[in-house]
Chain A
Amino acid sequence: MNQLISAIFVASAASYLASCALFVARIRRSPTTHLRPQWPPRLLEIGAGLHLTYLVLYSVVDRLCPLFSLHSALGIVSLVGVVAYAILSRGRRLDALGGFVAALAALFLVTAHGIGARPTSTGDRWLVAVHITANLLGGGVLLVAGCASAFYLWSERRLRRRRSLARGPRLPPLESLDAVVHRLLWFGVPLLTIGIVTGRMVIEHVETVSAGERVRAVLSIASWLLLLAVLLLRQLRGWRGRRPAYAALGGAVGILLVIALYVARALLGDGG
């Protein structure tokens, strides 16, 4: 069984990396030979399917609920990102974003494999389950929003520099990126709100809160506030362009830091 799981892990990582390489080949301005546009997203989907199988088998073998293991949590975050990309990229030219999502998914898969299965929080298991689920779904979606914002800033900067469009990678159109970020915020911010609220309730039941947990909570709340502000200002005042893109990127970086802190704690041996 373990050999099968390892084989699926390798196949999934290989699919993600191949997908990333093909996405990069597509966005490069230099010509590519006979590369069909559907190959990179198909490989990404195959990688995600294998990843899901890997998570399920891993959880069955370890007899551990995927929600209560950082190993599976990282996998779920990246799967959510892949699914969000797959839905939003239909009819849009978002190859650059696809490459980034594939690379991120591969990174999360390999990192999770390195951590291994470690059980997480105790306390009210239902509340913790809701907290973790909301954070995983929201986190995955908002990370993709952060990627899209970064590409928005890159593309915008290039347009302002008035250089030849034939040079550099083929980036997605600004309007597509803007629409993608907006939709992802609409989906991700409410989930993150649920995560923040339930997190506050979980902490009330905990006797001692470590310094690391305080930093994570502060980072989470700061990211949430930033992303909420972007969403509300966009909705109420039509706030679009460079500054909201910077804010959304900042929020996503905050979420990534929170995940990195979890991983660091797990790797340092303080549980998952």
Chain B
Amino acid sequence: MIVVGLSHRSAPVAVRERLAVAPTDLPLRLAELKQRVDAGEMLILSTCNRVEVVAAPSAPGPCSDSELGNRIADALESAAPGVRPHLYLREERSAIEHLFRVACSLDAMVVGEPQILGQLKEAFAAARSAGTIGPWLNRAFEHAFRVAKRVRSETALGAGQVSIPTVAVDLAREIFSELDGHRVVLVGTGEIASLVATRLGRAGARLCVVGRTFERARAVAGAIGAEPRAWDDFPGLLASADIVVSSTSERGHVITPEHVTQIWRQRHGRSLFLVDLAVPRDVDPRLAEMDGVFLYNVDDLSQVADAALADRRHEAEKADAIVAEETESYMRRAHAERITPTLVALREHWRKVLEAELERSLRAEHVPLETGRKEAVQRATLAAVEKLLHAPTERLRAWAKEDRCGDWHTDLLVRAVEELFQLGEPEAAPEKNVKR
């Protein structure tokens, strides 16, 4: 299996966007690329942080992976000229480890972000419906999903929020539980504040926007699905608000303890969450001391996000260990499975040879055997095959499992066995009766 592609680590967004594939175009692009590069199996993963082609050759072998990788790289270069220097190629164990790391969100721009697993599953589903998934990719992806699940359950990699909008939503949930029906007032029209408000709105909160310029407030309100209100309405809105997100460009404080004290009686003691994203600050810091008021400015939110990020880095080390263990386990199993058809063919070959020899001997001796006796002789023949092949089979399996040199070593082993016993060749025609 190979992975060819580029990500936020290897290419800037200007390069990544040239290769990006829209979900609707995915089946067509998959079919085109698979045919063009003559791959056995193929999947395209296209997200905002990476575009990767995961493929398996139609005939596995030491050279086929590299050749296929080069053909895919050529195809990508011709689709978006200039991307080649940014492309990376992972083969065999390295490709499996990379796939597991991507599924576990260890290779993400924000380590531990949960979206990548969903995107990977969507890409897999798309490739499956396009008919470009075969046994190799199926097994690798199913294993990758299991590894991601294990990492999620055995580490705290996804715990805590690491961006200002998500931290704000998390904090709001710590105060208000569900945000359904809670009122959010967006004061000012700053970009990050709008993002915070949008996230709160998605969580079920009712949004309204207040701005010094009503037209601007209306435009922002339209963009985020909020109700625009005039600046004069602000004191009344403060009385009914649960969350206030502020990001004006005022020089002084827009919300002071005096403002809040005036409306406090009307609030009946309900908690007030103030998110101050403005620099200079919009909310008087003395409000942080008021009972029932929770004030977070941009530094506080960044501090919470940074702490969560540091925690995730620590957890990423545990996740890396899991990925390494799972990669090892997958490779062992894959090598063992790769040799299985050869072993089956070997047993079948020996069985047929012995049966043919037995039949020939009996015919030559003109000794008709009773049915029961004949079956007993056949059973004995099979048992002899089993005994003769037991040790070589176990040895071959062990070599395949311990293959630390990559797929090519197992392939070499398979070819050697096939060559030695002429397993791939057509059966020789039964010889005429030979007098012994």
Contact = CB atoms under 8 A, between A and B. Distances in A.
Contacts of A93: 177
In terms of DSSP, what is the predominant structure of the interface of chain A? loop
Interface string B145-171: 000000011111001110000010011
Contacts, number: 88
Contacts of A92: 177
Given A31-B154, A173-B177, A174-B175, A238 B307 contact: no
Contacts of A33: 153-154
B160 A166 contact: yes
A124 B308 CA distance: 62
B156 A159 contact: no
Interface of A: 29-34, 92-93, 155, 159-160, 162-167, 171-176, 178, 234, 237-243
B291 interface: yes
Contact of A165 (B153, B160, B269, B270): B160
Contacts of A163: 304, 307
A175 B304 contact: no
A159 B307 contact: no
B303 interface: yes
Contact of A174 (B160, B161, B271, B304): B271
Interface in B282-333: 288, 291-292, 294, 296, 300, 303-304, 307-308, 311
Nearest to B264: A238
A167 B177 contact: no
B366 interface: no
12 contacts: A31-B154, A31-B156, A155-B174, A165-B308, A167-B160, A173-B175, A173-B177, A174-B175, A175-B271, A178-B271, A234-B269, A239-B269
A117 B296 CA distance: 55
A173 B176 contact: yes
A174 B300 contact: no
A235 to B, nearest CB: 10
A229 B328 CA distance: 65
B387 interface: no
Contacts of A172: 177
Given A165-B174, A174-B174, 5 more contacts: A165-B170, A173-B175, A234-B269, A238-B267, A241-B269
Given A159-B294, A173-B177, A175-B176, A30 B304 contact: no
Interface of B: 152-156, 159-161, 167, 170-171, 173-177, 265, 267-271, 288, 291-292, 294, 296, 300, 303-304, 307-308, 311
Nearest to A245: B291
B300 A164 contact: no
B263 to A, nearest CB: 12
| 9 A-B pairs with the lowest CB-CB distances in the bound complex, closest first | A166-B160, A240-B269, A164-B307, A238-B268, A173-B177, A238-B269, A241-B291, A241-B292, A166-B159
B385 to A, nearest CB: 44
Contacts of A238: 265, 267-270
A239 B265 CA distance: 10
B175 A162 contact: no
Nearest to B182: A175
A26 B33 CA distance: 47
Contacts of A241: 269, 271, 291-292
Residue of A92, A174, A242 ringed by the most chain B CB atoms within 10 A:
A174
Nearest to A30: B156
Nearest to A32: B153
A242 B291 contact: yes
Nearest to B152: A31
B156 A166 contact: yes
Nearest to A162: B300
Contacts of B176: 173-175
Given A93-B177, A175-B175, A240-B292, A29 B156 contact: yes
Contacts of B173: 173
Contacts of B160: 164-167
A164 B311 contact: yes
A159 B267 CA distance: 21
A92 B178 CA distance: 9
B367 to A, nearest CB: 64
B175 A164 contact: no
Contacts of A29: 156, 159
Contacts of A30: 156
Contact of A162 (B159, B269, B270, B304): B304
Contacts of A165: 160-161, 167, 170-171, 174, 304, 308
A159 B150 CA distance: 31
Nearest to B293: A241
